[in-house]
A and B are shown apart, each in its own frame.
Chain A
Amino acid sequence: MAYLWDQLRAAVPLIFSGTSEILTTTWITLRIALVSTGIALIVGLPIGLVIGLGRFRGRRVLHILANASLALPPVLAGVFVLLVLLPQGPLGSLHFAFSIYGVYAVQTLLALPYIVAMTPAAIQALPPGLLAQARTLGAGPLQLSALALREAKIGVIAAIIAALGTALSEVAAIIIVGANIQGDTQTLATAIVSQIYDYGNYPAALAIGVVLLVLILALMLVLTVLQQRTSGVRLRFRTSGATGG
């Protein structure tokens, strides 16, 4: 036990002395998480809403496909995105391979299934009468979407938490597409792999691990508080609406 304690004690100063490197990596990690989750939201929310609210043939098939895409191993997403982005690939002219933009692209692809699959699930879990009532009262698709999103906020925020979480923990896809370049495409998670696998620098790996853990806890805490606070308002609103109606 004393040994582990020594390791941890050796790691803590590294967090502060290696500040500029770890800070850069933390900033890159945050940027990747925010950009990929942001794009996934812009692209995925409308799709999720259509699947959740739409009443068309094949809606269930689409939802099953979205669920199934959650099981896609990120390492495969990495290989295929890299092949597409390599100079001889279809999107080679963008020069995204081994750059931060390639990492944004693959992480967006990995975040998308969470938004697309979890949004309709959250909408379908709403009390059945709610959306029907809004439709009867003449709500158009936009109003209906806004209502569904507001009411299904807990599920949608859960999807955002999941999407951010994958970006923070992803290793394989980011290494493959971004080449794990320190200060450029390296995230905290891939830096841990690099410190152990390439350099055998265990205290540094531990220091980065502590930062990653703190970052994840902080993000999850903020989002969970946000999620639960809105839920309280929503539930009170809903029950008062039910008694009134």
Chain B
Amino acid sequence: MTALWNTVREAVPLILHGNPTLFTVIWFTLQVSAIATAGAAVIGLPIGLTLGLGRFRGRRVLQVLANASLGVPPVLIGLALFLVTMPKAPLGSLHLQGTRQGVFIAQTILALPFVVAFSAAAVQGLAPGLLAQARALGAGRPQVYALALREARIGVLAAMIAALGATLAEVGAIVVIGGNIYGYDQTLATAALYEANGAHYQDAVAIGLVLIVLILVLIGAASLLQLRGGTSMRFRSAT
């Protein structure tokens, strides 16, 4: 037990006297999470809302596909992106391999299923009469979508939190597409892998502690936002 404890104790000064690389890694991790989650929201929310609210053929099949895509191993997504961005491949001219842009794009793709599947489920969980009533009162599609989004905001935020958590913890896809280049396109999670593989356990623990704190802060803040959103649900039942 003492050996374990010593490793952890030696890790803390490493964070406090943080080397510039650690700050680069933290900053890049934040960038990746923000860009990927926001990108997935911009692309995924319209898809999720259409899946949840639309009344067209094949909607259920698409929703099953969206749910199933949650089960695809991220490393396969990284592999697929890697193959289509090989120099001679269709997207080779984008030069995404071994770059930060590649990591942003891989992570956005990874976050997408969470946003699509969970937001579709959230709007489907709304009281059935609510949207029908809005439609009957003459709400157009954008208005119905806006209403559904507002009413299902707790579920939609949960989707965002899941997407954020996935981007923070991801390793396989980032390593495959980005190459896990020290001080350049490492996130905290892949940096922890890098240090552990190099048997630099104190560094791995230090990075791990920072990652835990970051996750607690970000997910905690998002959950608070979610809870605050929940208070106005009371307003709805009062009307």
User: Chain A: residues with CB nearer than 8 A to chain B?
Assistant: 1, 3-4, 7, 71, 73-76, 78-80, 82-84, 86, 88-90, 161, 165, 168-169, 171-172, 175-176, 189, 192-193, 196-197, 202, 205-206, 209, 212-213, 216, 220
> 19 additional contacts, CB 8 Å, given A73-B168, A175-B197?
A71-B169, A73-B215, A74-B171, A75-B189, A75-B196, A75-B208, A76-B192, A76-B208, A79-B208, A83-B205, A90-B3, A168-B73, A172-B172, A172-B192, A192-B172, A196-B79, A197-B175, A205-B79, A212-B73
B172 and A189 form a contact (CB under 8 A):
yes
Q: Which of A3, A71, A212 has the most CB of B within 10 A?
A: A71
> How extensive is the interface on chain B, given as a class?
35 or more
Residues of A within 8 A of B83 (CB): 4, 7, 202, 206
A197-B180, A216-B73 known; A88 and B192 CB under 8 Å?
no
CB of A59 to closest CB in B, whole Å? 20
Contact at B193–A71, with CB atoms within 8 Å? no
Q: List 20 A-B contacts (CB under 8 A).
A: A73-B169, A73-B215, A75-B189, A75-B208, A75-B211, A76-B208, A79-B192, A83-B3, A83-B4, A90-B3, A161-B71, A169-B74, A172-B172, A189-B73, A192-B172, A196-B79, A196-B82, A197-B179, A206-B79, A209-B79
A to B contact number (C-beta, < 8 Å): 127
* Least Cβ–Cβ distance between A75 and chain B, in angstroms: 5
A71 touches B73 (CB 8 A): no
- B133-165 CB contact bits vs A (8 Å, 1 = yes)? 000000000000000000000000000000001
Q: Are A172 and B201 in contact (CB under 8 A)?
A: no
B79 and A220 contacting across the interface, CB-CB below 8 Å: no
* Those of B168-227 within 8 Å (CB) of chain A: 168-169, 171-172, 175-176, 179-180, 189-190, 192-193, 196-197, 201, 204-205, 208, 211-212, 215, 219
B75: interface (CB < 8 Å):
yes
**Which residues on A sit within 8 Å (CB–CB) of B90?**
1, 3-4
Whether the pair A193, B71 counts as a contact (CB closer than 8 A) is no
Contact B79 A88 (CB under 8 A): no
